[in-house]
Amino acid sequence: MRKPIGRTAAAYPRRAAIVGALVATLLATASCTGTVPPDAAAAGTAPAPASSPATPAASATGSPSAAPAPVQVPDVLRFSGTTLTGSAFDATRLAGRPVVLWFWAPWCATCASQAWTVAEIAPKYRDTVPIVGVAGLGEQRDMKNFVSEFDLGDTAQIDDRKGVLWKRFKVTEQSIFVIIDRDGKVVHQGFLDGEALSARVAALAGA
């Protein structure tokens, strides 16, 4: 009786060997060309992209973190004093910003005319262009009355009855404004009326 036509058992190992060789060849080709097999990509095993140059670590705000540069204190701001309210005043804390020093006396009519402008603009520019009064040539009680009368309580007023700061800045008369730019350079020393003072301070704030 004739045997059924079919594959012999010996044919199967031979076929398996051929298929295995083909698979190995395909995998080797894929690895050489950088092609990711579909099943590997689906499993999340795709190779990572080439690394880019390192960037600074981001801060909590999302911008690169960097230590702030220290503010250099110019010699012109290396002084201290006591305000008319009895508080300690340290001018070095004003470094890095434009500063206006106003030298006034409590009995000075010109100072009184400028006081309204100072009282109006000083709070507005407190953080950008601090205006600091330096009271001299009078008694403390009169100085305090002057501050109260012209609503200058929101502006630092240094008690300079001994004239230490007046001598330091070579101020010999009142009313004098000394304007210091953010680099510590004195850019003005002299009289300013209310309009000119307002314009100067606004320009410094916008610089």
Helix (H, G, I), strand (E, B) or coil at 171: coil
What confidence tens digit (pLDDT) does each residue in 68-96 have? 567 899 999 999 999 999 999 999 999 99
Domain locations in the chain? 12-42, 75-206
Prediction pTM value: 0.67
Rounded distance between C-alpha atoms, residue 81 and residue 162, angstroms? 11
- pLDDT for the residue numbered 80: 97
CATH 3.40.30.10 assigned to 75-206? yes
Other C-beta atoms within 10 Å of 187: how many?
Answer: 12
Mean pLDDT computed over every residue of the chain: 78
